Amino acid sequence: KLSAGEYGPEQPGRVMAHFGRTLEVRDADGTPIRCHLRANLDGLVTGDRVIWRAGQDGSGVVVAREERDSILKRPDPRGQLKPVAANIDQLLIVFAVEPAPHPNLIDRYLVAAEATGIAPVLVLNKTDLLPDDGGELGQLLERYHQLGYPVVRTTTANPEGLDKLRQQLAGRTSVFVGQSGVGKSSLIDLLLPDETLRIGALSEDSRKGTHTTTTARLYAMRSDEVSNGELIDSPGIREFGLIHLDEQEVTDGFIEFHPYLGLCRFRDCRHRNEPGCALLDAVEAGKIHPERFASYRRILDSLNSQ
């Protein structure tokens, strides 16, 4: 038993949610513990790996944050980018047979994902609505698969519809992003069926206060099908998209362009109509798909008109 002002040994934990300077930290066994931040610590986000010590009243104190593998940022109301979640292994970009995605939209998501350094996975939902031959969407997906992106098909219309997705989620920390109406909520409801687990002890009382927060929450998926998969979710995260990217980031976001970058005749080539442009030559030679290149142009143009 700890006496007043005394703390237990240092232990590892992970931030499941945060409400100002109060955190919900999960210990190594998965038990949630309400923790406060040591005064010199600040700016922790959901998903952070931390070191904490137990206090005498069952709550704890977080004393350190571990190095982050990755960080997802969102603009705050003043337009400044703020970290919202950390240590994410993969961004699941959900799109659907209906409403069908414009190919440019998939490219926009991929560019934004590449800029975060978090591995993107394309999830095609509502495959129950797909024609038997796979349709145009099937061909489109094959193109992304050939670029090296994992593609997972899902449907919430039958019990096996999430099998492949569950395999993709196992052992990793994931977030779902995508347009409204593609089925993100439906998928997440099936992956996290236990409402009590989803709401959590801390948010229970925060809901009464001013902290009724849209901050991200981490959910553990400990079923047999998804061993040790974790999900970080919030309304804001689901809206993740193309924001605050510069021209270089957009160019870097098209992974099949990489072998040709730096090979243009002019060092400051903008790949528009310059002679000796390695990218234009690659399109001409059939090494880069013309639609991806057109998409690249369109994204650049949309940046310039902002």
Binding-site ranges for ligand GDP (CB under 6 A):
125-126, 128-129, 155-157, 178, 180-186
Q: Using CB distances below 5 to 8 A depending on partner kind, what does residue 277 bind out of ligand GDP, Zn ion, none?
A: Zn ion
Our finding on whether 111 is near Zn ion (CB under 5 A) is no
Q: Per CB under 5 A, does 277 bind Zn ion? A: yes
- Residues 181 and 94: beta-carbon distance below 8 Å: no
Compute the least distance from the CB of residue 141 to ligand GDP, in Å.
Answer: 16
Q: How far is the CB of 200 from ligand GDP (least distance, A)?
A: 20
Q: Which residue has the tokens 């040591």?
A: 38
Partner that binds at residue 273, options Zn ion, ligand GDP, none, CB closer than 5 to 8 Å by kind: none
Q: Which is nearer to ligand GDP, 13 or 178 (CB)?
A: 178
Q: Compare residues 87 and 127 and give the one whose CB is closer to ligand GDP.
A: 127
Q: Choose among ligand GDP, Zn ion, none what residue 153 binds, the Cβ cut-off being 5 to 8 Å by kind.
A: none
Measured CA angle at 232 (ends 169, 96), to 5 deg? 65
Q: How far apart are CB 129 and ligand GDP at their closest, in Å?
A: 5
Q: Tell me: does residue 216 bind Zn ion (CB under 5 A).
A: no
DSSP structure string for 141-207 = HHHHHHHT--EEE--SSSTTTTHHHHHHHTTSEEEEE--TTSSHHHHHHHH---HHHHH-HHHHHHT
Least distance to ligand GDP, CB of residue 237, Å:
12
Under 8 Å CB-to-CB from 283, ≥6 apart: which residues?
289, 290, 293
Q: Are 137 and 126 in contact (CB under 8 A)?
A: no
Distance of CA 81 to the CA centre of its chain: 15
264 binds Zn ion (CB under 5 A): yes
Torsion, Cα 197 203 205 208, to 10 degrees, reads -120
Nearest-5° angle of CA 74, CA 75, CA 80? 130
We find the least distance from the C-beta atom of residue 154 to ligand GDP, in angstroms, to be 6
Q: Which is nearer to ligand GDP, 103 or 178 (CB)?
A: 178
Shorter beta-carbon distance to Zn ion: residue 14 or 271: 271
Q: Which does 264 bind (CB under 5 to 8 A by kind): Zn ion, ligand GDP, none?
A: Zn ion
Beta carbon nearer to ligand GDP, 11 or 186: 186
Rounded CA separation 86/46 (Å): 6
Closer to ligand GDP by CB, 123 or 264: give it.
123
In the bound state with ligand GDP, the residue whose beta carbon lies nearer, of 187 and 250, is 187
Which run of H or of E encompasses 135?
helix 135-147
Q: Give the residues lining the site for Zn ion (CB under 5 A).
A: 264, 269, 271, 277, 279
